Every structure is written in structure tokens, then in C-alpha cells.
Amino acid sequence: MKKRRLGNSNLEVSALGLGCMGMSFSYGPPRNRQEMTSLLHAAVDRGVTFFDTAEVYGPFTNEELVGESLAPFRGRVAIATKFGFRLGETGGPWAGLDSRPEHIREVAEASLGRLGVETIDLFYQHRVDPQVPIEDVAGAVKELIQEGKVRHFGLSEAGVETIRRAHAVQPVTALQSEYSLWWREPEASVLPALEELGIGFVPYSPLGRGFLTGKMDENTEFPATDFRSGLPRFTPDAMKANRVLVDLLAALGSGKGATPAQIALAWRSPGSPGSCRSRGPRTSTAWKRTSERPRSS
């Protein structure tokens, strides 16, 4: 597995990361814990060193799973987690945004405990909180870095102005945003700004939340616990219309012995700064199938 240095930072990670959200949250019922532990171990065996989680995934249970499963590999892997949501009174689904400095510190302390680490490798603001100046957010993370509780600061789905303001207070190591063959919005202004500032890019959902695998069509049904059931891109009409993209990926892959998913992962936009793609398979078979490289033509 090739390595990438995120932007101008000293954080070096595998070119392909593993997003762990779907193991515990959003993509249907939580998966079997032992199976997910085996999947995480298999990813490490195949060279993955970058894993993504968040307190809100579960909530809490995904961080616990990732922390316990990766404990044998301390020092060999980097774990990113996130802050920025206010959870419901019963600890259930989020009730809003909360990036107040005191809350950031609370989340950091709790995440350190659940992950079983002394330092969080990469601490993202999960979503920009319009009620809290980004300078205050960056300042709070800067203090955590100075205390040795966090190594690197990241943002997620932030705009260019927000990125610049945060970066002026505490260098931003990476931005995480959705980016794939069917969602290329970051190319307009975000990617050029990241390149200018020397900030890494961690695109999530490079497989279009599973659609670009070619494993679903207009007849695919999602349970209520799968958040795609409420996304416009996953209505039957939308999936039928977008199937032409999957068919194109299949045609491109046919001569290389590659699946649509492998072609989608192999694609990258020219001009992207140091980046790592974060994807989230939920079975060891899916991980093996998509992490293998297509053969050269």
C-alpha cells in the first residue's frame, strides 16, 4: 500500500483509508462486532494505516470498536475522530451542532478514553458551527495540541473562507469532504485553496455511498435504519438515471479485470493535494474485492 503525506504536515498515512461509520451506524443495523474486528485487522494486514471514526457514530460505539480492535497496532496506525455535534438528552441521535471550546475539550477527553489512546492523531470539526467563530474552534484545538492530547487539526465539509480563517490560527492538516466521480463540487474552489495552503484532502464516500460499486439499482430497497433511504440520489428514478455512470465504469474495467468499484477508487482528479481516500466496506469480502488493484492494460 502506497503512503501519502497529508498536505505539508508530517502525518503520513496509507493512500487508502478505512471509514468505520457503517460498521456501527447509518447503513442499517450495527454489524457483528467480531466480524468488524476481523475486517479491521484484515485492513491493517493489507497495509491500511488510516482509520476514521467519530463520537456521533453509534453514538460512541464506533469509537469503542475502533479503539479496541486497533489496540494491538498502536504506533502503526493513525486514527481520526471528530467533534462538533450536540447529542440528544438520552445519548441518542444528535440534537444540533456544538463546537463551543468547552465542548470540544469534553469530546476530546471522552474520545481519548473510548479509543484507548493518549493522543488523537487527527481531530476534525465534523461540521462547521455557525454559532461559534471558527477562530475559537481552531484555538481550542490548538490548546489540545499544545497539551499533547491531539496531533493534528482537521475540518469537514468547510468552505474556503472558513478554511482560511481556521488555518490562520492553527494549521489545518486535512479537509474531509464528500468527493467521487458523481460528486465533484470540491473541484470548483476548495481543492485549489487546499493546494495553495498546503492542506491535505481526505475525500469520503469515493464509491458514492455504495452506488458506484454496481451492486444496486432502481429495485434496491433500504431499511429505515439506512440513511440512504432518505437521500434524493437513492430514489428509484435517480438510481435508474445514474446507472449509466456505473455501466461506464464497468465497461472501462472489463479490459483490466476490474470492478466498477475498483475503477472508481483508482480515479483521481488532477491537481489534488496530498490526499487519502476514505471508504467504508462492511464485510471482509468487500474490502478484499475493492482494495485489489486493477491489472494494467
Strands 94-97 and 150-156, bridge-based pairing: unpaired
At 152, give phi and psi (nearest 5°): -140, 150
Q: How large is the C-alpha radius of gyration of the chain?
A: 19
Cell 505539508 locates to 8
Catalytic residue among 57, 124, 179, 204: 57
Counting Cβ atoms within 10 Å, is residue 65 exposed (0-12), middle (13-18) or buried (19+)?
A: buried
Q: How deeply is 265 buried, as exposed, middle or buried, from its count of CB atoms within 10 A (0-12, 13-18, 19+)? A: buried
204 is catalytic: no
- The span from the CA of 232 to the CA of 242, in Å, is 12
Q: Which residues are catalytic?
A: 57
